[in-house]
Each structure stands twice: as structure tokens, then as C-alpha cells.
């Protein structure tokens, strides 16, 4: 059974009362940058730049109404002071130690929140090196079966909730890219998935165990990696049964963000494309993991799909029917988390004359990912309080490979994604949707 986002015509949204537990799978570069950033913002030491929930506004009504409140003033979102953090990781380092090793944030930005970061120590993780071959760690759970591992995760969640008196929780996968997996018959139903977990079937990856434990515990789950995880009927069925939102996959940062900004512009102006060559160098743990060809294939599938869906070569065969698209990722340790992405784009215009665009994006991967994690936490909690269950396509804005109904193609155009997100918020807030038609101004 495939169930997607369900909303009533007049949604009733529960108030965000009490504390919200934020569970991250992984306490590496992305998670520690997110957590340390939130703690710094709470103390008034930093600004949440890049976060739509914290700094974005939303137009309401006609342009002449001049109503553009901040999103957080328009819709009830949990406040940053009410977030409580928990995490799993295969390394035992506290969030402070892990952040220092990740090398994303400077010590001068970590030390003011050192005490809080040191208090965040990861629980033992569910991990199997067969799925992430270039990593190994000792802070892992021991259990006979994958189903037993899920039960141990559910126990962690229960204890965390009780210890902090939490009303609600959200889980976000901030861990590594797993090897490429194809859908298997064991993924078809919740029953078949549970049976496979008890039999230690190889088609059940650790990320699926986390997602299963989250949904069974009443916790929404967002997938920040390109792993198969939620893209199976069993998880969608479970989300329906439990009335929980799910979202994914693969945080949209760096090079793919640039593609979803630039490609819609080429298509809008009907400029043709002969080829798009993309290469990256990065030296963080993500780069190390992607050195393994099986993990790289999972990432490659996510990155390659973007152009095809935006440009629609079947609709515009003359312009986009024969382009070459190549993606390369190279592990280069001296670069650390400061990824560099090069793009060479061969386009053609009037009468077929060729032109080129070249992009050199020196970005900081975790700096771009951290506000995505924050927004997903707050919006997933909003979705749960609004009774929205299943795939949250309105959150496609944040993902390289957005989840959607099986009969639909995913929407990759960043500007359409943003319109969908804001119209969903308008719907939830009881405001009229905005179509940008605007004929009434000229009647």
C-alpha cells in the first residue's frame, strides 16, 4: 500500500507544547555542525543563516496587502530553546570532540558551547561494515538479529524520551552513504520486512533498521543520505499505519544545489545542452566513504537523476535529447569538509551556436547541510502535529532525490519546490494559495 501526504481541508495543528527530541543517526561533521550551531544561536552568538524556518519570510495575500511575516511568526514551530539532542555513532566521542575532529567549526565557535556539546555523548550504534566498507568503529551494538537491533534502538528512544520528559521526537539520518541496494521482495510489506530482519537478510541495511525503529516508536524519520531506506513499500505502509510523516532523500547541498538553480534557467530560456561534466574533491568522512565504488554508485544515482527530471528530454528532444552528463567525486584529504565542485556546461543557443558556462563552487558541505537539518526537524514536527502522514513531498526543497508517489516523477526544480513548500504552509495556516497569476491587478 502506497500512502502519500494526507491533509484535511481545514487542518487542525496541535500546539508545539513541551520539548522536542532531536535524534540524529551519526554525530559527525553534519550533525555536530547542526547541534553546535543551534546551541550558538540560542545564546545569541550566531545567526541561523540558510534556515528558511528561522530567517525566511512568506508572502500572504495580494502583493498590495504587503503582508510578508517571517515563517516562524506565521506558523507554529517549536522554538530552538525547546530542542533536546540525542545521537548514535560508531565512535564514542562527545559532540565537542567529534566537532573538533570534523574540523568544520573553529574552536572559537565551539568553546562557548563546549559544556553542552560535551554532555552530548552518542549511544552505541547499529552498524555493519558490509554496508559502509570504508568505515569501522567500536561503539556498536551487539545483537543476534537485525530485529533485535531494532528493539535496542527503540529502547534507546524510550529511555531518551522518559529522561527528558519529551512530548515529541524527530529522527534524521546524518550518517554515511550505504552501498547501492535494489528493491527486494522482502521490502514489499511490513510483515515481510520484519521476517527478513529476524533472518538477518542482506537486503535490510542499517538505515532501514533505524527507520523501522523510529516509526515503531512514533517518531517521524527524514533520510539525509541517498540510501534506499524509505523508498520501499514496507516503510510507506508503516508510516501509514503509525500516522507518521517521512521525507527524503539526500540533503541538497553543493554541486546539486547549483544544478537545481541553473538548469531551470536554461530550460526556461530554451537553451540547449550538449553536456554537463561535474567533478568534486572533498576530504571529509563522506569523501572517504565514497571512495568505495558501491557507496559511490548510491550517490551517483542520486546526483545523475537531477538534470533528466528538470530538463525533460522526452518533451524537448531537440534541446536535451542527446546531452552527456558525467559526475565524479574524488577523495582528497587535505581539503577536509571544504568541498570544491567544478562544472563545465556546454550549451547552445540561437541557430545552434555553442556557448559554455563554468562554475567553481568552493563550498563547505556541513555548513550548507546544517540549516537543512534544522528546517527538516521543525517541519517534520509540524507535519506530525498537523496529522500529515506518509511521504512529505512538500519538503522536496531540501533533497537531491525527492520522494514522491510511484506514478509521479520527482520535482527537482528548486523554485517550484519552494513554491510547493510555501503553499503548503499557506494551506496549513488557512491562507489562500498563491499562483502568481496576478491578472486582478490589471482588471
Of the ranges 74-78, 91-95, 201-205, 254-258, which one carries the lowest mean pLDDT score? 254-258
**369 neighbors 35 (Cβ within 8 angstroms):** no
Q: How far is CA 325 from CA 175, 216, 217, 282, 418, in A?
A: 27, 40, 42, 20, 25
For residues 412, 415, 421, 426, the Cα torsion angle rounded to the nearest 10 degrees is: -150
Residues 392 and 383 sit within 8 Å (Cβ to Cβ): yes
CATH homologous superfamily of 20-251+366-428: NAD(P)-binding Rossmann-like Domain (3.40.50.720)
pLDDT tens track for 106-148? 999 999 999 999 999 999 999 999 999 999 999 999 999 999 9
The pLDDT-based confidence of 298 (bands split at 50, 70, 90) is: confident
Distance from the first to the final alpha carbon of the chain: 48
Per-domain residue ranges for the chain?
A: 20-251+366-428, 255-362
pLDDT at site 9: 60
Q: Checking DSSP bridges between strand 221-223 and strand 168-173, what pairing results, if any?
A: parallel
| Rounded Cα distance, 397 and 417, in Å | 5
Report helix, strand or coil for 258. Answer: helix
- Predicted confidence (pLDDT) at residue 2 exceeds the cutoff of 80: no
* pLDDT score for 293: 81
What average pLDDT score do residues 287-296 get?
79
pLDDT tens track for 177-197: 999 999 999 999 999 999 999
Strands (E), 312-422: 324-331, 340-348, 354-362, 390-391
Q: If you average pLDDT over every residue of the chain, what do you get?
A: 94
Q: Quick one: average pLDDT of 39-49?
A: 98
Residue 406's pLDDT is what?
A: 86
**Residue 361 burial by Cβ neighbours in a 10 Å radius (0-12, 13-18, 19+):** middle
pLDDT tens track for 319-337: 999 999 999 989 899 888 8
**Cα separation of 320 and 331, whole Å?**
31
Q: What is the average pLDDT across 88-114?
A: 97
Can you give the pLDDT at residue 286?
A: 75
**H helix runs in 140-232, sequence order:** 146-164, 190-198, 206-216
Residue 10's pLDDT band, with cuts at 50, 70 and 90, is: low
What pLDDT is attached to residue 3? 41
Sign of the dihedral defined by the CA atoms of residues 125, 131, 135, 138, in that order: positive
Mean pLDDT of 403-407: 91
Long-range contacts from 71-74, C-beta under 8 angstroms, 24+ separation = 71/425, 74/425, 74/429
Residues forming beta bridges with residue 276, ordered by sequence position: 325, 345
Proportion of the chain above pLDDT 70, given as a percent:
98
Assign a CATH topology to domain 255-362. Dihydrodipicolinate Reductase; domain 2 (3.30.360)
Helix/strand number for the chain, H first, E second: 16, 10
Strands 221-223 and 245-248: parallel
pLDDT given at position 88: 98
Residue 291's pLDDT is what? 80
User: pLDDT over 90 for what percent of the chain?
Assistant: 86
The span from the CA of 138 to the CA of 401, in Å, is: 32
Closest CA to 275 of 330, 328, 321, 306: 321
DSSP per residue, 22-74: EEEE--SHHHHHHHHHHHHHHTTSS--TT-HHHH-B--BS-GGG-B--BHHHH
Residue 6: per-residue pLDDT: 44
Amino acid at each position: 500500500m502506497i500512502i502519500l501526504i494526507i491533509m484535511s481541508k481545514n487542518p487542525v495543528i496541535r500546539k508545539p507544547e513541551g520539548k522536542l527530541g532531536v535524534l540524529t543517526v551519526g554525530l559527525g561533521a553534519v550533525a555536530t555542525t547542526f547541534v553546535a550551531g543551534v546551541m550558538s544561536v540560542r545564546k545569541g552568538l550566531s545567526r541561523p543563516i540558510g534556515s528558511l524556518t528561522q530567517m525566511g519570510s512568506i508572502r500572504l495575500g495580494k502583493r498590495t496587502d504587503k503582508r510578508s511575516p517571517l515563517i516562524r511568526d506565521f506558523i507554529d514551530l517549536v522554538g530552538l530553546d525547546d530542542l533536546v539532542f540525542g545521537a548514535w555513532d560508531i565512535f564514542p566521542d562527545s559532540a565537542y570532540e567529534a566537532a573538533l575532529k570534523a574540523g568544520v567549526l573553529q574552536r572559537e565557535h565551539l568553546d562557548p558551547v563546549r559544556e553542552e556539546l560535551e554532555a552530548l555523548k552518542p549511544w552505541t550504534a547499529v552498524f555493519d561494515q558490509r554496508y559502509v566498507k570504508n568505515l569501522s568503529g567500536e561503539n556498536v551494538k551487539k545483537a543476534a538479529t537485525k530485529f533485535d537491533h531494532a528493539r535496542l534502538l527503540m529502547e534507546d528512544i524510550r529511555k531518551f524520551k522518559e529522561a527528558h520528559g519529551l512530548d515529541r521526537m524527530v529522527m534524521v539520518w546524518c550518517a554515511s552513504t550505504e552501498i547501492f541496494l535494489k528493491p527486494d521482495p522482502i521490502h514489499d510489506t511490513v510483515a515481510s520486512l520484519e521476517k527478513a530482519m529476524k533472518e538477518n537478510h542482506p537486503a535490510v541495511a542499517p538505515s532501514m533498521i533505524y527507520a523501522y525503529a523510529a516509526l515503531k516508536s512514533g517518531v517521524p524519520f527524514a533520510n539525509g543520505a541517498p540510501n534506499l531506506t524509505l523508498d520501499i513499500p514496507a516503510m510507506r505502509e508503516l508510516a501509514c499505519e503509525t500516522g507518521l510523516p517521512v521525507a527524503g532523500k539526500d540533503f541538497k547541498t553543493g554541486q546539486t544545489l547549483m544544478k537545481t538553480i541553473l538548469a531551470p534557467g536554461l530550460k526556461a530560456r530554451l537553451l540547449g545542452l550538449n553536456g554537463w561534466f561535474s567533478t568534486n574533491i572533498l576530504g571529509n568522512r563522506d569523501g572517504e566513504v565514497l571512495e568505495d565504488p558501491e557507496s559511490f554508485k548510491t550517490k551517483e544515482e542520486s546526483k545523475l537523476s537531477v538534470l533528466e527530471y528538470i530538463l525533460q528530454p522526452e518533451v524537448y528532444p531537440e534541446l536535451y535529447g542527446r546531452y552527456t552528463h558525467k559526475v565524479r567525486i574524488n577523495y582528497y584529504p587535505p581539503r577536509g569538509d571544504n568541498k570544491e565542485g567544478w562544472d563545465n556546461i556546454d550549451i547552445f543557443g540561437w541557430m545552434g551556436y555553442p556557448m559554455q558556462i563554468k562554475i567553481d563552487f568552493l563550498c563547505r558541505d556541513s555548513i550548507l547541510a546544517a540549516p537543512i537539518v534544522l528546517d527538516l526537524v521543525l517541519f517534520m514536527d509540524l507535519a506530525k502535529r498537523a496529522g500529515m502522514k506518509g511521504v512529505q513531498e512538500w519538503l522536496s526543497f531540501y533533497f537531491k532525490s525527492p520522494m514522491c508517489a510511484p506514478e509521479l516523477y520527482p520535482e527537482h526544480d528548486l523554485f517550484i519546490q519552494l513554491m510547493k513548500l510555501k503553499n503548503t504552509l499557506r494551506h496549513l495556516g488557512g491562507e489562500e494559495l498563491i499562483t502568481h497569476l496576478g491578472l486582478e491587478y490589471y482588471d
